[in-house]
Amino acid sequence: MLDIKTSSYVAEGKHRACYIHPHNESLCVKVLLPSKTGGSQEEANRETKYYRFLEKKNVPWTMLPKFHGEVITNLGKGYVFDLVRDYDGNISRNLTHYLSNQQLTQNHAQALSVAFDLLNQYLLQWKIITLNIQARNLVFKQTSSDEGRLVIVDDVGNPELIPICNYIDFMATMKIKRKWQRFVSLLLKAYPDNKFLKSKFSVKN
């Protein structure tokens, strides 16, 4: 059993908490929050299944953290992934962190702009299906002081009962384009004063 120390806590969302792996600083372990069971477990199973599917397709783990399997921990069942870190070793922060701070966004505007485009290309090239893309589920990995990538840490996979998009490329492409449009419009709504987003996605003032 893996003994996770509370001091290795990284962050949490609505369902899971993320900890640094006790034996490997480049991995993280995600465990369900104590109050969450049922639906969250189904979500986890869907994610695991979809990751297996991506492994078979040989998807490069550049904008998705690699999945390293399940482990039993003192905090319940855990899921091991690459822990996304910046070039200086700091754990990468999510996009919400960057977009909520006008100055921080401006400091990384050029890198963020390229990172948005790279992520869109990556999803389309590898036909990666996601649930709705949300800022809190993307981390911005600074690869140097002025370059970076957006990595999707949550909500990948196809929740459909018959996941036809997994097998028919043009349907996947359409779905990915729709998800991207929705992502952009939600960002513009969530951060109406963010100058970077306005100019990137060309909204007139």
Ligand X SMILES: Nc1ncnc2c1ncn2[C@@H]1O[C@H](COP(=O)(O)OP(=O)(O)OP(=O)(O)O)[C@@H](O)[C@H]1O
84 counts as binding ligand X under rule CB under 6 A: yes
**CA 60, 64, 70, 75: dihedral to nearest 10 degrees?**
160
Please compute, for residue 89, the number of CA atoms within 13 A of its CA located in the half-sphere on the CB side: 1
> Among 7-15, 32-40, 120-128, 181-189, which window interacts with Mg ion (CB under 5 A)?
7-15
> Among 86-94, 110-118, 157-165, 171-179, which window interacts with ligand X (CB under 6 A)?
86-94
Query: Are residues 184 and 201 in contact, defined by beta-carbon separation less than 8 angstroms?
Result: yes
CA distance 123 to 16: 24
In the bound state with ligand X, the residue whose beta carbon lies nearer, of 68 and 198, is 68
The sheet carrying 67-73 orders its strands as 9-12, 16-21, 24-32, 76-82, 67-73
153 counts as binding ligand X under rule CB under 6 A: yes
In the bound state with Mg ion, the residue whose beta carbon lies nearer, of 132 and 144, is 132
91 counts as binding ligand X under rule CB under 6 A: yes
In the bound state with ligand X, the residue whose beta carbon lies nearer, of 36 and 198, is 36
12 counts as binding ligand X under rule CB under 6 A: yes
Interface residue with Mg ion, options 43, 47, 82, 154 (CB under 5 A): 154
DSSP states of 17-64: EEEEETTEEEEEEEEE-TT--THHHHHHHHHHHHHHHHHHTT--TTSS
Footprint of ligand X (CB under 6 A): 10-16, 18, 28, 30, 65, 81-84, 91-92, 94, 136-137, 139, 153-154
Footprint of Mg ion (CB under 5 A): 13, 137, 154
